[in-house]
Structures are given as structure tokens and as C-alpha cells.
Amino acid sequence: MVIGPRVWKTGLAVTITLWIAELFSLEYPYLAVIATIISLQPTITDSLKKGWERIQATAIGVIIALAIMFVLESTPIFVGIAVILTILICLRYGWTESITLASVTVVIIMAGSRDDTFGYALQRSTVLPFVGIIIAVAINLLFSPPQYLEMVKKSLRDLNEGIELLMMRVINSFLTCENYSPEHIQQLVDKIYVLYEDAKEKFNMYQNERGYKKYFNGKKAAELSNLERVLEIMWLIAQRVIDIQNVTDERCGRISKIENPSTQYNDLLNSVQEFLFQTTALEKNLIENYLEPNENRKDIIERQIEEITTLRESLRERINDWQESHLGPTHIRSLIEIATLVYDLDQICNLLFKLKELQDK
């Protein structure tokens, strides 16, 4: 079991909330504790948003409870009606996570003493939730604040490694069809989807924490926009690799391995493998240079782009030579498969060049 920051921060927040409630002799301190636990969100922005949401929901509950108490009675049936109305209003405004706190407040007000009802209601609806919310936000700010930019960087690196591994396995399998394992390849594909969702989640948290759409502009907004574009390009590359995997699955299901490959095919095989090595190396350097700019790496990237451009032309020539020696209906499926492979590799190359252009802006 790993005790992460959010775990121990929740325990610390609860302790401080109870201590303050005891220090100021606040009744029903568990209302403040509930507000603290719910308001301790993954990001500080979320803590503020959820905290304000809970204050509004609780205030609605107080108003409904007082209205029914003064107009009708505090009998069990009317307490139930008050809770139902409170829940309906919370649902109407999307305050689903605040339903518990608001409903508990309604029950305490209506089932408690009628003496000084307004004073008690005011304390429970404002002071107690405010105490919990302020403590939750303060704990998030002061103790181990979430470093979402670093989390985004790590998730992008993990996604890139997953794409690189899948690309190497898939294309090598496409070319040789030897020891092809659909189950293993599918596991790699599934992992790509998991890594992509994780990267999106981390980016959304970072975006939410910065709140750039509302509070930032200029360079800071462009920085987040570029980061989002990098993630989008990586996912497009992954989709191309998955497209190659689908063709590979059909191809290797048709033939167990390439029998007696021709000289042209061996030349094509060598060119594709070299192209594969160069593109995966370029992608890794581009991602690393975007996350941690380095002048030496920039020079390497420039050389890699020149080599890939030359290699791409050479690959096209070798494909044409191979196609000329394999014309006819018996090779039509192989021609289509090779054409698909080359098209997807070409698109991957174009996406990498876009990634380079994004860094040069």
C-alpha cells in the first residue's frame, strides 16, 4: 500500500478541522469535516469550485428547511419532503457531489431544536462549510501541491515509449510474419489506449489548475495550446500504427512467413527497417526536446530529418522496383498491404515534421 499525498493530506485536513471546531466550540463539527473531505480535490481550482458549489447547495437546503419549518411542521414526512426538494435542486444545477452535505444539513436543522433556529442554520450553512473548504484549499496549497506539469511530461514520455514499442513490433511482424502473436500485439494496443487516457487526464488537470482560458493569455495560453497539440499529434501517430497493426493481423493470418524473399523484397525490408529506426528515434528526440529543450538535441533532430527525407525517397524507389517484379493477380493483396504500410509510414513522417514545426514556433 502506497500512502500518496492526497491520502495523508486528507487525514491532516480532518485533524485540523476537528481541532478548529473544538477550539471555537462549533456544534456539529462533522459538517465541516464532510466539507473538508469532499473539497480536497486533486487540483486547487477544483477545491475552490467544489467548495463554492457546496456552499450554494447547503444554503439551498437551509432555505428549504426553514421555509417548511415555519410554514408547516418538522414532522418526519416534511423532513423527507425537504430532503427531496433539496436533492432535486442540486440535481438541477449539477451539484451531485454536494447532495450529501446539503441533505444532512436539512435533517439537522429540521430534526433539531427550534430554539434559535436561524442562528443554528446560519452557523451550519455558512461557518461550518466555510471552515472545511478553507482548510481543504489551504492544505492543498501549503502541503505538497500537485505538480501536474511534471505528471503531464511523464505521461507523454510513457505514451511515446508505448507507441515506439508497438511500432517496432508491428512493422517487423508485417515484414516477416514470423512468430507473430496477435494476443501480445493486442496487449500493446490496449496499453496505448490506457496511456493515452492517462495523458489526457493529466493534461486536463494541469489545464484546469492553470485555468488559462479565463485567467491567462499570451505565452501561457500558447504553451498549454502547444502541449495539447503535442498530445494530439502523438495520438494521430498511434492511430497510424494501429492501422498498420490491423493490416498486419490480416497479412500474418494469411501467411505464416515470407517464403524465399526476392532481392527486391530484401532491399525493401532493409529500407523499411532503417526508416522505422530513424522515425522512432526522431519521435523520441522531438518529444524530449519539447519537454526539456536542449541545443545539442536540436542539431541531432535537424540531421535526423535530413536523413529521413533522403531515406523516404529511397524507400519509394525500392517499393516501385518491388512492385514491378510482382505485377499480376497473385500478388494483388501483397501490393495493397505494402501500399497501406507505406502510406501510414509516410503519414507518420509528416506528423513528426509537424511536431518539429510546432517546436520551432
Q: Is the pTM of this model over 0.75?
A: no
Count, in order, helices (H) and strands (E) of the chain.
14, 0
Q: What is the pLDDT of residues 265-286, one digit of tens each?
A: 777 777 888 888 888 888 888 8
Specify the length of the chain in residues. Answer: 361
Between residues 131 and 113, the one the model is more confident about: 131
| Confidence grade of residue 126 (pLDDT, cut at 50, 70, 90) | low
pLDDT confidence of residue 215? 46
Q: Is the dihedral of CA 37, 42, 47, 51 positive or negative?
A: negative
Helices 44-71 and 29-39, axial angle in degrees (round to 10): 140
Tell me how far apart the alpha carbons of residues 160 and 158 are, in angstroms, rounded to a whole number: 5
Residue-averaged pLDDT of the chain: 78
Between residues 337 and 192, the one the model is more confident about: 192
Most confident of 28-32, 44-48, 143-147: 28-32
Tell me how far apart the alpha carbons of residues 34 and 19 are, in angstroms, rounded to a whole number: 14
Nearest to 348 by CA among 282, 291, 268: 282
Is the pLDDT reported for residue 212 higher than 50? no
Instruction: Say which range, 41-55, 147-161, 194-208, 223-237, has the weakest mean pLDDT.
Output: 41-55
pLDDT confidence of residue 238? 93
- Mean pLDDT for 301-328 is 77
* 3-class secondary structure, 33: helix
Is the pLDDT reported for residue 352 higher than 50? yes
* 3-class secondary structure, 111: helix
Percentage of the chain modeled with pLDDT above 70: 80
Check if the beta carbon of residue 72 is closer than 8 Å to that of residue 78.
yes
- Mean pLDDT for 305-313 is 85
3-state helix/strand/coil string of 311-345: HHHHHHHHHHHHHHCCCCHHHHHHHHHHHHHHHHH
pLDDT confidence of residue 328? 55
Is the pLDDT reported for residue 145 higher than 70? no
Tell me how far apart the alpha carbons of residues 84 and 79 are, in angstroms, rounded to a whole number: 9
Check if the beta carbon of residue 31 is closer than 8 Å to that of residue 104.
yes
pLDDT confidence of residue 239? 93
Amino acid making up residue 223: E
